[in-house]
Structure 1
Amino acid sequence: MEAFLISTGIVALAEIGDKTQLLAFILAAKFRKPVPIVFGIFVATLANHGFAGAVGTWITTLMGPETLRWMLGISFIAMAGWTLIPDKFDEDEAKLVRLGVFTTTLIAFFLAEMGDKTQIATVALAAQYQNLIAVVAGTTLGMMVANVPAVIMGDKIADKMPVKLVHRIAAAIFAFLGVATLLGAGAGLGF
């Protein structure tokens, strides 16, 4: 349950102001069809984070517990710093192809999430907790928590969101996880 809750919370916070959330705003404004956009985001996130979680779980088989602990601790601290860097998204760079709202959203979101903070966080969380299903379910829910309101309410909430504060909170959580990992938290989990 801890893996699910931490994964949900950290990704929901990290996603605020992220390029994929900005993409959700753009798709909502462009298509004005929230249901296929939300389903496209869900399927793209589930596929992307499923792959990322599998990579994170696989990584644990390649490293000894001490090496893994240091890699994860440093990764979480690096994620804290990365979270503080605001994302920019240019609609012209999106090159949204007309394949229908669902398919366009699915492809755009899947590609935008490649190498993104939340994908990298999913790899690290899966390696940390060694619970693929709980982590992927949590990170996917976190993405939905952050992006569904963006799709439904669009510009009405974009200007009211305290993005810097939310990023600082997410960075603090990543930093805490990193330090706790380096200090041996999770030692009972095998690393």
Structure 2
Amino acid sequence: MDAFLVSTGIVALAEIGDKTQLLAFLLAARFRRPLPIVCGILVATLFNHAFAAAVGALVSHLLGPEVMRWVLGLSFIAMAAWIMVPDEIDEEETKMARFGVFLTTVIAFFLAEMGDKTQVATVALAARYSSVVAVVAGTTFGMLLANVPAVYFGGRIANKVPIKLVHGLAALIFAVLGIATLLGVGAGLGF
């Protein structure tokens, strides 16, 4: 349950102001059909985060627990710094409208997530926790928590969310996870 809750919280916070959330705003404004956009986000995120979690689990399996502790601890601290860097959306990611709303969303979101903060976080979380399914479910749910309101209420909420505060909270969580991992907190709990 910890893997699901931590994954949900981290990705939901990390996604606020992220380029994929900006993409959700753009798709919602362009197509004005929220349901196929949300379904596209779900499908793209499931595929992307399942791949990322598989990579994280593989890396965790290949490296010993002591090396993994250092890699994960430093990765979480690096994520804390990276999350404070604002994202921008690439206009090329929204020029695929000929595929229809759903498929355009799937393709654009999948590509936008490649190497993105939340994908890297999913790799690290899957390496940290033993349950890949809980991590993928949590990161996907976190992605939807951040993006569904963006799709449905985009313009009305975009200026009301204090992005720097949200990014600061996410960075703090990553930093705490990183330091706790480096100190070996939770080592006796099997993760």
Class of the TM-score when normalised by the shorter of the 2 chains: over 0.9
1:21 matched residue in structure 2: 21
1:124 matched residue in structure 2: 124
Instruction: Give the Cα–Cα distance (whole angstroms) in 1 for the partners of residues 138 and 190 of structure 2.
Output: 22
Counterparts of 1:1-191 in structure 2 under 5 Å? 1-92=1-92, 94-190=94-190
SS of residue matched to 2:61: coil
Q: 1:189 Cα deviation (Å)? A: 4.5
Percent identity between the two aligned chains: 71
One-letter code aligned to 2:22:
L
Q: 1:38 Cα deviation (Å)? A: 0.1
SS of residue matched to 1:58: helix
Q: 1:188 Cα deviation (Å)? A: 2.0
Residues 159-185 of structure 1 deviation map (CA, whole Å, 9 limit, x = unaligned) = 111000000000000000000000001
Q: Which ranges of structure 2 fall in alignment gaps of 5 or more residues?
A: none
One-letter code aligned to 1:13:
L
One-letter code aligned to 1:136:
V
CA RMSD of aligned residues (A): 1.1
SS of residue matched to 1:108: helix
Q: 8 Å contact 1:129–1:189 — kept in the other structure?
A: no
One-letter code aligned to 1:99:
F
Q: 8 Å contact 2:93–2:112 — kept in the other structure?
A: no
Q: Which ranges of structure 1 fall in alignment gaps of 5 or more residues?
A: none
SS of residue matched to 1:115: coil
Number of aligned residue pairs = 191
Q: Which segments of structure 1 move beyond 4 Å, counting only runs of 4 or more?
A: none
Q: 1:65 Cα deviation (Å)? A: 0.8
